[in-house]
Amino acid sequence: MAKTIEKPNNKTCFIISPLGNDDSETRRKADGLINSVIKPILTTAGYKVIAPHEIDTPGSITRQVIQHLLEDEIVIANLTELNPNVMYELAVRHSKRLPVICLVEKGTKLPFDIATERTIFYENDMAGVEILKPKLTKAIKEAIEEKEPDNPIYRVVSDSIMREVAAKDDAQSYILNRLDEITFQINRLRYSNDESPRRQRTNRNLKLTASKNGEILSQDKILDEILTKTKAEIMSIKFEPESKDETKLTLEFEVLGGRRDAENIIDSFIEQGYKLDNVVVN
């Protein structure tokens, strides 16, 4: 049975969504989601629901949108099409550390920055509407009840503060690095379990040494160029910098999808112009 949402008093839900032109396919899909799913659920729960293209108050639309993002009790973000304005507005909401619920049409490959965040995937058809309704109702109730919403911006800010405190303490720095790795592993596993087709999984380990035309390599560069491109389901990554050569980086991956995922990672490196040495899959 779907969870019921306690009715608030004079509270607002703002919708972040790709819009497009009035007669565009983007607008038709966005309005369909808003009018068939989001508004009925939130209106029944006692919220006033506002979308950007429905703002009719005189004044700067941008200013009003940002005000809603910073002040409204709930924000629902439709990430379909990965619209730049939507991503910007999502970041504004994250900066305030207030509840936000993300929706995206199935088949969308989310950017690595938010791929491990809780997101509801939906099918854009009549059956998909009925499946989405209880999921969204449950997510709204959980978001309202959550005392300390988490998001990538808040985690980075908190982590930076912790690292400043621990900068001169090697033991604390080591613990923080290990926590980063554990968090990454848990998030990747949660994301793959939530949205990937159920299939027989055979873990594989892939180890390789990467270089790229003499460039100095960093962990962030690898994460940005490879993990955002590959379809592999990665459970963990270990980095082993070459002590005397910053142009080479040895990496060890544990993947959930077997040899096929290992080959996907290798292909992603090659497509991005990397030279690979000492490649081992076991």
Give pLDDT tens digits for 236-256: 777 776 667 788 888 888 887
Express each pLDDT in 141-177 by its tens digit: 998 888 777 776 766 665 554 445 545 555 555 555 5
Span of 83-97, 129-143, 178-192 with lowest mean pLDDT: 178-192
What is the predicted pLDDT for the residue at 50? 94
What pLDDT band is residue 6 in, cutting at 50, 70 and 90? Answer: low
**Is 197 or 182 the better-scoring residue by pLDDT?**
182
Q: Which residues contact 217 (CB under 8 A, 6 or more apart)?
A: 210, 211, 246, 247, 248, 249
What pLDDT band is residue 33 in, cutting at 50, 70 and 90? Answer: very high
Express each pLDDT in 89-122 by its tens digit: 998 998 888 899 999 999 888 887 787 778 999 9
Enter the tokens of residue 138: 């449950």
Asked if 263 contacts 207 with a C-beta cutoff of 8 angstroms, the reply is: no
Q: Is the pLDDT of residue 127 over 80?
A: yes
Enter the tokens of residue 190: 């949660």
d(CA 179, CA 184): 8
Instruction: Share the mean pLDDT of the chain.
Output: 80
Enter the tokens of residue 125: 């058809």
Q: Which residues contact 241 (CB under 8 A, 6 or more apart)?
A: 249, 250
Q: Is the pLDDT of residue 264 over 80?
A: yes
What pLDDT band is residue 195 in, cutting at 50, 70 and 90? Answer: very low
